[in-house]
Chain A
Amino acid sequence: MSAPAAPTPSDHGHPLEESKFQIYVQIAMLLAVITGIEIVTVYLPFAKWLLVSVLVVFSAVKFLFVIFYFMHLRWDKPFCTILFFIGLILGGGTMFALLKLFGMANSIPLTSL
């Protein structure tokens, strides 16, 4: 367990600390708006690949805003970002590999073949 960090006078009264409240509220509103747009998007009469791409991009934007602002990665040491992205890339890679290896046809019950 680490001991409490030593005081650093440079942080006292830092304007960024003061403005974080506004940043958090603005990001939360942005995330809510993006969620609303996502819901509307699924009903739009466009090609499936385009809609899926748009949804993936929106999800990625929401994901990145939460981890970099709400989870403080933007202000923390880069090692936290590296550590998390190792897991994220491994998890994403596993997802990609599984989806490539097993297509949708694998869910057809054997009894109906």
Chain B
Amino acid sequence: MSSTAAAGTIDHHHDPTTSTGIPNKKLVMWAFLASDCMFFGCLISTHLIYRLHPPPGVPQARQVFSIELTSFSTFILLMSSLMMALAVNAIQKGNLRSLRSSLLTTIFFGCIFLGCQVYEFNNFVFEKHMTITNSILGTTFFTLTGTHGTHVAIGVFWLLLMYVRSFQPQDTDARPYWFLRNLLHIAVFIGAIVLTGYLLIWLAWAFQAGGFTLATLGKFAGANVLAAIADVACFLGIFRLGRTAGPYAFDEANAVDVEMMGLYWHFVDIVWIVIFTAVYLLEYI
């Protein structure tokens, strides 16, 4: 795992040690993505076939969708793709600091996208009364976008693991508790994401129910003091655990791992490019 490759000395597009000349990890990821194309192709075409003719009482797709929210989600996912490409570029040059900041930004954008999807699903089910069971449109829509959202969630978790992995020390004997420290790092990261999501959803509901007033904010703060303190503690933990002294085992030689993760993340983005057009925009024509 550990390597001391000098920055800029590895050919990241070719690997002479494999029979194909392509790093095996990258080849496996491309094969997986090719199979995922067929998976999403079936889900998208099923939605296109069954999107019309909802039963009485269930709204049409156009009455349900919010093009503003979806456009914002699309923009966020495109920007996360840019940050992911910059992360791969950074590790290929051996720039660990830039890699970490790019990964953190990608995680942040991925969480925003997931938050938008949670808000959208909540809005569709409770406000617009389109559920996964009351029409075929709902069934195909939630299955398709839910599967894509699951891919994004897995991607965010993978990014998180890669970020924490970049803190693995080169000399593990000198820092015997590094593995437990990294586990703690993952735990506080997940805690921060879950608690922030919980607080934001709670806040959005509070404002929707009680209006945008100081009384609503006070009620929210009173009911969530412990969660807010735990959230702040998690963020402080992330900050503290992210300030370790090098040298690190993670360097340019691990670029193929980051690139493989990047391929997965970009694939999630291109699937959304198709979903955005085929599922959302077509309803407005």
Expressed in whole angstroms, the Cα–Cα distance for A107 and B278 within the complex equals 17
Interface residues of A (CB under 8 A from B): 1-9, 11-13, 17, 20-21, 24-25, 27-28, 31-32, 35, 38-39, 41-43, 48, 51-52, 55-56, 58-59, 62-63, 66-67, 69-72, 75-77, 79-80, 83-84, 86-88, 90-92, 94-95, 98-99, 102-104, 106-109, 111-112
Is B8 touching A66 in the complex (CB atoms < 8 A)?
no
Chain A binding surface, main DSSP class: helix
Is A83 touching B273 in the complex (CB atoms < 8 A)?
no
A-B contacts, 10 of them at CB < 8 A, read: A21-B86, A21-B89, A28-B78, A42-B285, A62-B273, A66-B273, A70-B82, A70-B266, A79-B21, A95-B44
Complex interface: chain B residues within 8 A of A38 (CB): 276-277, 281
Complex interface: chain A residues within 8 A of B16 (CB): 5-6
Is B33 touching A87 in the complex (CB atoms < 8 A)?
yes
CB distance from A38 to the nearest CB of B (A): 6
Say whether B204 faces chain A, with CB atoms less than 8 Å apart: no
Expressed in whole angstroms, the Cα–Cα distance for A52 and B281 within the complex equals 9
Say whether B133 faces chain A, with CB atoms less than 8 Å apart: no
Complex interface: chain A residues within 8 A of B175 (CB): none
Complex interface: chain B residues within 8 A of A112 (CB): 53, 55
Which of B11, B44, B259, B273 has the most C-beta atoms of chain A within 10 angstroms of its own C-beta?
A: B273
Is A2 touching B34 in the complex (CB atoms < 8 A)?
no
